[in-house]
Amino acid sequence: MWHDLLTTGVPYGEKALRTVLVYAAIVFLLRAVGRRDLAQLNTLDLVVMLLLSNVVQNAVIGQDDSLAGGLFGAAVLLAANSAVVHAASRFQRVRQLLEGHPLVLVEDGRPRRRTIARLGLRTSDVRAAVRRQGGDDVSESSLVTLEPGGTLLVKLKAADQSADKADIDELRAALRRIERRLDAAGTDGP
């Protein structure tokens, strides 16, 4: 039993190469398909991701179903991912190659319908992102971008932004100034 668990059917060098090549291919394919799939998984996307892991399993482990072979493959996969993440955090060119750059979906309140469609998004997704940021309509946004990680980032036009803590503090200070002027003028009311 121990022999079957610990004896690999594929040489470790081949297993390492298989794992790294499959990892690189999956990163490339996911990058080519689009970032929406990574950040906003819906039910269909989740099914694809689960099936994808099953489809590439044999490409990673080959004809080896030993415990040692599986653990070695997992270790190589984690090491490869760690190296890529480290390189992306240190080198901007690597990060841009892997993640890309923000894509403009709405500019000055006007949706870029071709870009939205090309990315597989719906205009309703963009409208929902604007509403989550406090806007009532896409026309109230000065810029909406799809960030490399898949997040929809909304910048509302200045006139359409909700009040924040600084605005409220400023209003309170103005109210205190008015109250002091009224008190100084001797008006306490009727």
pLDDT of residue 41: 64
Whether 123 and 111 have beta carbons less than 8 Å apart is answered as: yes
Whether 76 and 10 have beta carbons less than 8 Å apart is answered as: no
Selected residue with higher pLDDT from 187 and 93: 93
Nearest residue to 154 via CA among 136, 170, 169: 136
pLDDT of residue 37: 42
pLDDT tens for each residue of 147-182: 877 788 889 887 666 666 777 888 888 889 998 988
Q: What is the token pair recorded at 155? A: 């910048």
Residue type present at position 2: W
Residues 157 and 170: their CA atoms lie apart, in Å, by 20
> Checking phi first, is residue 181 left (phi over 0); if not, alpha (psi -120 to 50) or beta?
alpha
Q: What is the token pair recorded at 38? A: 């990574």
Residues 119 and 125: their CA atoms lie apart, in Å, by 12
Q: What is the token pair recorded at 172? A: 């309170």
In the DSSP assignment, the letter for residue 163 is: P
pLDDT of residue 160: 63
pLDDT of residue 59: 81
pLDDT of residue 112: 93
Nearest residue to 52 via CA among 77, 82, 22: 22
The average pLDDT across 28-54 equals 71
pLDDT of residue 38: 46
Q: What is the token pair recorded at 157? A: 């036009």
